[in-house]
Amino acid sequence: MSSQFDQKDSHRPPRMGRAMLTLMLCVTLYSSALQAAPPENTVELVDLEGQTHTPLRNAKAKATILFFLLPDCPISNAYAPEIKRIAAQYAEQEIASFIVYVSPDLSVEDAKKHATDYGYEIPVLRDLSFELVRETEVTIAPEVAVVSAEGKCLYRGRIDNLYAALGKRRFKATQHDLRNALDAILQGVPVPQETTKAIGCYIPKPKTDARLLTR
């Protein structure tokens, strides 16, 4: 009797072996699930030149600045010179920049005209379905979001304090919040103030069929 029991038990894997097989199976299933799941923050938008971008996942840059603008907002347009200066200066330090128009019915032709009129040479996106607006939680134009290569929002808010309030413009800005955030990111230290209040025009709500306009 004893010899039969020993013979049957000899075909069973040791307890430690079964545990190891279970662990390996779990790891395999978890890895498969990760491969099947879409990565987060993979918003894809086509710029005015027809190039596809994933501005929230830009592995080629140390960080990415999204300048959210409304073409008919005077404060947005007043910031054009500073936006161009910041984009040019920090591009040399591997910081990418995008203009993001958030007017829900802005045509490609009107977007191109506005970008040309204000001299924007960085990629220009139209966020007609407000995917970037929702991901970054911006509400005002002009407002900026700075995201890491992995899609983490590092700074959101105003470019500087040129406007104390609506209709109250200073002679020149005395606090340069966006530049301070970018300098901190490049130095590898915490951003001194991760969020600030932007002054400008409220971003309108998207149209329900906005996605169709992007096709």
Share of the chain above pLDDT 70, in %: 76
* Residues counted in the chain: 215
**Collapsed DSSP state (helix, strand, coil) of residue 85:** helix
- DSSP codes of every residue in 16-40: HHHHHHHHHHHHHHHHHHHHHSPPT
pLDDT at residue 19, rounded to an integer: 56
Give yes or no for residue 146 having a pLDDT over 60.
Answer: yes
Q: For 110-139, what is the mean pLDDT?
A: 96
Q: For 111-139, what is the mean pLDDT?
A: 96
Give yes or no for residue 23 having a pLDDT over 80.
Answer: no
Q: pLDDT class for 31, splitting at 50, 70, 90?
A: very low
How far is C-alpha 129 from the chain's CA centre?
A: 15
Q: pLDDT class for 42, splitting at 50, 70, 90?
A: confident
- CA pair distance 182, 164, nearest whole angstrom: 22
pLDDT at residue 17, rounded to an integer: 58
Token couple for 10: 């000899």
Q: For 25-51, what is the mean pLDDT?
A: 64
pLDDT at residue 205, rounded to an integer: 75
Please state whether the predicted TM-score (pTM) of the whole model is above 0.85. no
pLDDT at residue 33, rounded to an integer: 42
- CA pair distance 158, 172, nearest whole angstrom: 14
